[in-house]
Amino acid sequence: MPGLRAALPAALLLLSSFPPAAAKQPPWPWVPGVMHALNPSDSQASAAARTALHYSNYHGASPSRLRALHQVLKATVKAIPEVGMKYYMHFTTEDYITGEDAGSCLATVLYLKKSPPQVYIKCTHTQDKKQIHEEDNRFYQYLQHRKKPIIASNIPDSYGNIDRDHLALWGLAIAGSSCIMWERSREKLAYFVAQVKAVKQWIRKDSAVEFEFMILLHETPTQKIDLCHMHLIWILGHPLEVKYICTSDSHGLEDGSGQDSGSAAGMFHGKEGNF
Amino acid sequence: MHSGPKVYLLNMKVLLVFAALLVGTFSEQLFVGDQVLRAVASDEEQIALLRALGEQVDLQVDFWRDPTKPGRPADLRVPFSRLQAVKVFLESHGISYSIMIEDVQQLLDEEKRTMMLSKRMERSANKFNFASYHTLEEIYDWMDTLVADHPSLVSKIQIGESYEKRPLYVLKFSTGGSNRPAVWLDTGIHSREWITQATGVWTANKLAEDYGHDPTVTSLLDTVDIFFEIVTNPDGYAFTHSSNRLWRKTRSINAGSSCIGVDPNRNWDAGFGDIGSSSNPCSETYHGPYAHSESEVKSIVDFIQSHGNVKGLVSIHSYSQMLMFPYGYKRTPAPDHEELNELAKKAVNDLAAVYGTEYTYGSIADTIYLAAGTTVDWAYENGVKYSYTFELRDTGRYGFLLPSSQIIPTATETWPALLDILVHVQQHLY
């Protein structure tokens, strides 16, 4: 996002002063151009914070360093006419996998009508950077050196269990899925990873690591379960390369002939990816 | 590819385990090295080829899912000794396939082991395992043991039948009197929210155990009756076990649509059909053809109305960690907003005091989103002043697939919050 990077110093100034907000929460809808304070427990504030974290988790390209929202400390919102709604937030986070405190973040999220939200996010680092690098590296080496491809399904299973051996794989799936969730988030549409339905590794001759995933995303407030076929290439130290196609999947295969589940219905096809 | 290999394995597993047990004495390991392949034909010619493959007796290919049309997956179990030949066949004809199950025997052994382990534990302990998720049958059986263990406190009544004709059971907690003021509790109205049915079981047991020992519970049940429906959507619950773990709605057939089910928490006659519900049968928030169209909902409506003395209602969902009260279908504050809000605040604080789990609270419309035709809105507009809904753990990490290790902690922390509401009703009868 070159535009946002250029605006970085200005953004930092803006965030550090935490723009003065209108005293009272106005009735729906927002008066344009004016900053309105949000109750930190407002679900809209949480949704915006999570959108920022999807962006961060995807761009972090690290299965060992993923953040989940802990608590929103402060949030304000401004309606930008003709453009969208911009949220300004300060929130605390925890490690996605372990639940440990993972520091706090400042973020802005500009929700647009038809494109992925524009996100700026900056977090404090309480996790040991060196340790995270080592964990990523260890996992990466393990994946790179495999002769037999990893194949797994249902992470977590119906009972919420995740094999210890699959924890890092789950992390990788979440990192990749965060791309999907960030791009699809809108002001009134939020996503969670419901389950990693299936994962298959493609063994490569070069240094990259390649996977195909079937991910079930939970969409709110529609309550839909979307099935996404995700293709991911990971080269350590580089941004994750994610390609995906999603289909709405509220009605399993059991429902009979009428329900065609779309192009992502089959599992993994042949040798080449299907994109 | 929606429910994955496990779906078919589940159906086939019963057959296979049965078959395996039958022939057990002759050969223990029937399926070692066998694989299940998923093949996808790209045109009719390939469909024909797959069918021909199945007909070649010497290849012993066994279809778990038949080839139907191009683009639709077909699953074939191939014995170890025929793997090479079958794969060569598929590859030479350009039929794409992948390995779904690498070793069928391994999977069977593992599942058998888990099943046997769990049965052994339950038999020896002679106690229901509250820390694990159970099937519908297991929960219904447990209800009978609860009644048998506490016959002067708990009875089981049937308030109706589900769409697929399963009984709708309610546990009645009463120490006597005649049509005492009552509180209605329900869990599992959305079948995929497994933590709720599990919490329901634990809580019902807690109520029964604490009566006569804990002064608060004793005083409560000496004044007020409790009606507790633990599996409010049994058709959906059975479906989450057999076919789709993430099924939410009922399983009723919708006329003129291939999509099944109605959202039972949009089917109530309060703002029915308004924004916050869908008129599309394929939607997860489909409100149904008309209010109370679902027998699962109508049965509760009829019960509460004919009872005539229900003063509180708590309908339990997951996930999000919220405690909410009316309204969901409009943003206007309910007349009793202040009182309901204060009580919610107290309950949420008492919940957090147990393990530090943080909940938000407020009206449904303010706290989560506009939702029309909900249980609590209907109850509130039909004389049940203290109407609440919980969204239990977590906030999205595991979501619906909450690990069973969190069942008891979740139920334990929710208990004081629930008790706050029950006691408030008891002390503010109207």
pLDDT digits 0-9 by tens, A181-224:
999 999 999 999 999 999 999 999 999 999 999 999 999 999 99
Q: A151, B4: Cβ pair inside 8 Å?
A: no
The burial class, CB within 10 Å (0-12 / 13-18 / 19+), for B51 is middle
Crossing angle of the two packed helices B44-55 and B83-92, in degrees rounded to 10? 160
Q: pTM of the predicted model, to two decimals?
A: 0.77
Facing residues of B349 across strands? none
Contact B324, B286 (CB under 8 A): no
Which residue of B40, B260, B405 is in closest CB contact with A251?
B260
For residue B107, what pLDDT is reported? Answer: 67
Q: B1, A158: Cβ pair inside 8 Å?
A: no
Contact B164, B99 (CB under 8 A): no
Match 């002390």 to its residue by tokens: B427
Q: B98, A268: Cβ pair inside 8 Å?
A: yes
* Residue B85 binned pLDDT confidence (cut-offs 50, 70, 90): confident
- Which secondary structure element, helix H or strand E, spans residue B160, and what is its range? strand B154-161
Which residue of A50, A151, A158 is in closest CB contact with B99?
A151
Q: B132, A159: Cβ pair inside 8 Å?
A: yes
Q: Which of B127, B170, B130, B175 is nearest to B151 (CA)?
A: B175
Domain boundaries, chain A: 4-123, 129-265
ipTM for the predicted complex:
0.82
- Residues of chain A with confidence (pLDDT) below 70: 1-30, 248-275
Minimum distance, in Å, between the CA of residue A223 and any CA atom of chain B: 6
pLDDT in tens, B165-186: 999 999 999 999 999 999 999 9
Q: Catalytic residue positions of B? A: 391
pLDDT at B105 over 80: no
Contact A215, A233 (CB under 8 A): no
- Which secondary structure element, helix H or strand E, spans residue B201, and what is its range? helix B194-210
Contact A71, A92 (CB under 8 A): yes
Contact B313, B379 (CB under 8 A): yes
What's the topology of domain A4-123? Nuclear Transport Factor 2; Chain: A, (3.10.450)
Q: Is residue A251 less than 8 Å (CB to CB) from chain B? A: yes
**A4-123 and A129-265 agree in CATH topology:** yes
Match 């996998």 to its residue by tokens: A97
pLDDT in tens, A141-155: 999 999 999 999 999
Under CATH, which number does the domain A129-265 receive? 3.10.450.10
Beta strands in chain A, from DSSP E residues, in sequence order: 35-38, 67-80, 84-95, 101-112, 118-123, 151-155, 190-202, 209-220, 225-234, 241-248
Tell me the C-alpha distance between B337 and B333, whole Å: 6
Facing residues of A212 across strands? A200, A231
Which residue of B73, B243, B400 is in closest CB contact with A254?
B243
Chain B residues whose beta carbon lies within 8 Å of the beta carbon of residue A214:
1, 4
What residue in A sits closest to B192 (Cα-Cα)? A158
Q: Give the residue from B2, B117, B237, B394 with the most A CB atoms within 10 Å of its CB, the best one to mutate.
A: B2
Q: Is residue A160 less than 8 Å (CB to CB) from chain B? A: yes
For residue B234, what pLDDT is reported? Answer: 98
